[in-house]
Amino acid sequence: MKTTFINQQGEHLILYFAGWGAPIELVSHLILPENHDLLICSDYRNLDFNVDLTHYQNMYLVAWSMGVWVAEQVIDFKLKSATAINGTSHPRHNQWGIPEVIFDGTLASLDADNYQKFVRRICGNRTNLQHYLAHPQRDFVEIKQELECLAKFLPSSKPSQFSWTKAIIGEQDRIFPVDNQLDFWQQKNVSIHLLEAPHYLFAQYQSWNELC
């Protein structure tokens, strides 16, 4: 995976695991708390996470969509909090994630045009779409390779080494069915926040403090 630091001088760290195919700039407008650094993880064509974070006093996780599962595969250290946004520990699952036939169909039919349809689905409305497309978009070949790799990685899932503390669920999510997310997170000891929003919802926030 790719890891990108925004600031490297604070005592505390926010780790953000992006969704599949998403530009890292989607969260560039979010204000960082004082004395905090930000580490953005993206491009999951491999799950190598080789970053020394031992000097941080407190670490806070925010993971979106497929990033929820990826974070569970690589994080084995203590977190102050962990927020899952429109995702679960089972991204390809008929009860707790994206229904298997839809996940597999997306992969099988993925081309540049269908990916743009996917982007429109995750954004849900024109304002959100404009916000999403205002940022540099990733190369489609890489995006397709990323989903192919994730599909291969999923069967060898590892159990999470940490506990989630908050789940934010967009009630207009057309990717991870809302009922599936609720069914999953209601089993866990997490605070569930329902928001009138689609799958991509970062435009509704102004700071990382709102998410952590």
| Residue 131 predicted with pLDDT over 90 | yes
Q: How far is CA 212 from the centre of its chain?
A: 13
Closest CA to 143 of 104, 114, 170, 172: 114
Q: Give the residue extent of every domain in the chain.
A: 2-210
CATH architecture of 2-210: 3-Layer(aba) Sandwich (3.40)
More confident residue, 40 or 7: 40
Between CA 43 and CA 124 the distance in angstroms is 23
Between CA 167 and CA 88 the distance in angstroms is 9
Classified as helix, coil or strand, 189 is coil
β-sheet bridge partners, residue 40: 4, 16
- Give yes or no for a contact between 198 and 124, defined as CB atoms under 8 angstroms apart: yes
Radius of gyration of the chain (CA): 16
146-162: pLDDT as tens digits:
999 999 999 999 999 99
pTM listed for this prediction: 0.96
- Give yes or no for a contact between 59 and 83, defined as CB atoms under 8 angstroms apart: no
Q: What is the DSSP code (8-state) at residue 92?
A: B
| Residue 189 predicted with pLDDT over 90 | no
